[in-house]
């Protein structure tokens, strides 16, 4: 988990986390969720689910990149 946290530049957040940081955390969680769906669909050899999950991953990455832009 430490390697994944380092990749995402994740830090523990308090309740006083600024809204932009919360948006960034939500965006990174969306990327992780979509990546898990892609992996699962690939392992199950479910082509239609894989295509769907890849589209969701692309959307999640785009949102993540927008959240990472400085305000």
Cβ contacts of 51-60, under 8 Å, gap ≥ 24 = 57/31, 59/34, 60/27, 60/30, 60/31, 60/33, 60/34
Range of the domain at 69: 30-71
| pTM tops 0.75 | no
User: Is residue 11 included in any domain, yes or no?
Assistant: no
Number of domains into which the chain is organized: 1
In a domain, 1, yes or no: no
Q: Is 58 contained in some domain?
A: yes
pLDDT, position 46:
92
The pLDDT tens digits of the residues spanning 1-58 come to 344 444 455 555 555 555 556 666 888 899 999 999 999 999 999 999 999 999 999 9
């Amino acid at each position: 988990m430490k390697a994944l946290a380092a990749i995402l530049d994740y830090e523990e957040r308090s309740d006083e986390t600024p809204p932009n940081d919360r948006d960034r955390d939500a965006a990174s969680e969306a990327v992780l969720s979509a990546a898990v769906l892609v992996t699962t669909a690939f392992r199950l050899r479910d082509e239609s689910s894989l295509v769907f999950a890849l589209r969701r991953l692309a959307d999640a990455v785009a949102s993540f990149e927008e959240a990472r832009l400085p305000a």
